[in-house]
Structure 1
Amino acid sequence: MNSTAVIAACNLVKRYGPLEVVRGIDFTVPKGQCFGLLGPNGAGKSTTMRMIMGLAEITAGELTVFGVSASEMTREVKAKIGLVPQDSNLDPDITVLENLEAFGRYFALPAAVVAERAERLLEFMQLGEKRRAPVNALSGGMKRRLTIARALIGDPELVILDEPTTGLDPQARVLIWKQLGELKKQGRTLLLTTHYMDEAQRLCDQIVIIDNGTVLDRGTPEELIARHVRGFVFEVQKPALATSATARWDQEDIGDSVLYFVDETAEFIADLPPDAVYLHRPANLEDVFLRLTGRKLREN
């Protein structure tokens, strides 16, 4: 185990009766980084997060948070963690400011400290003008920003973000991305789950992709892209592509078209038939995710 990591998992296993949902995964989350835990629905992400927060018992293996076993975390260790849950659980009966002040009291902080932090966090998340507004008067993006502010009221060293921008418009997402970048500059460690691959590619220093409770691969976004899909993607419409030249390129049939993953764009274009219809773009993390986990729809 890595004693200097904020989170370290070694051969981590979780079973519910005969069902094994986490199957011996390993990963470490270094201090001061944004670490992405990615996977499709049912991959084991939520269960892993619950074990990290001490909300689910570990069946086998080791899991430490700040060097302490996740099953033995004290109140002091848990106070170092801020959680942004996937679903909003703000108190709708009180104001924006009162939500922060009420949550701050759970940390046994002096009232003056809570008041100062609450005002600072409202400004940080651009909610200062809404301090006296009822929660139900906020937009979805404002509620997510308030939930992040609430997670920071205890001044945590580790912030766990479970799909923090799901359902938000582009402007709200970009604002949250900017503020998460500021948290990283402050030296905080971020653990992020998201289904938005552009979000993970933009924010994460390191990524682990899991499915069926096992690790499929890990690395920086750039390393994963280079390893699995090369630098560029051509989506070529059928049927104008059946040549012996194009057969030599790394490819994936997706029905009405074929994806080609290439490093040399000019050479590939020269191999295409003259009547080929295609789209051309840089490869991204979503290409990696789909290649590793498949394109079949997950309903659970």
Structure 2
Amino acid sequence: MHPHWYSTSPDLQRRLISLFILSLAPKSPITTLSPTPSSPQIIFNTELEYTRSPHDIAAVLRWALRHVRLEGDSFGGPNTNPWQWYTAFYETEREKHHPPSAFSEILVPQLPPAHLQLLVSTLELVSSLAAHSERNGISGSKLTKFIGLWLLAAQRTEDGDDWASFYARWERAGRILEHIFLAQIRDEMTRKKMPLRLSELVASYPYTRASTIEEGLLPRPRLSSRRYDALHVRVETQLPDFTTPRPKQHPLRIIADAIKAEVISQSGQYQDIWDAIKR
């Protein structure tokens, strides 16, 4: 990864976020004068010119989602099952044979206003990047998988987590956000013309001809992120405990153990010397 990308430096990410927050401050009364070079808006826009790729935006977005605090214990409202809102959306959409406006008619009424605003704002950013995926190299599927867990799960880790269980939860959250992203594209297409790169993503929705269909999740789209076989190697290392002082042997014990030691040498050249020392 390029060492000057924002995605490689937490300090640069925080700087960009701070400049963005400052740029949201109330603006001064409108005048005929041009903005000064030191105005927060100009500084933020200038900083944006140095972003290297969509990975910078994705890294900053993930940082923000990691630190956001949702109303309630989980996304979608105070439910005992954190995915109840999605299960209801998935089942209702399927029962109604996947209407184009499922996002606005089925999902939107279930979400609290603050959660809906966060979701829509995030999906708008994903759509903006996915519409130019040929140039920037990042698809909507890839980005939704990247941020799904951070957006839709209030509790990202659980007690007793291992790599396999965390990855399964990460992938499920990503596929749920991918489904919602595709549903929103279809909903937008009922009101306006969408970019070609977005409309072709939902051409075969709901992808019933997929090779594998998993219960409770939308089948994997043809243009979804690819899956590859991988080897999981786990290396465990026990770190030394520096808080506990190492036991020290008494000097007499060291001498006693040394005297009991035997010289192992085929030539026996040191045997006489060692016998003399022991006497």
Band the TM-score falls in, shorter-chain normalisation: under 0.3
TM-score, with normalisation over the residues of structure 2?
0.26
Q: Which has the larger radius of gyration?
A: 2
Kindly indicate which of the two structures has a greater share of residues assigned to helix.
Answer: 2
Higher relative contact order (CA 8 A, sep 6+): 1
Kindly indicate which of the two structures has a greater share of residues assigned to strand.
Answer: 1
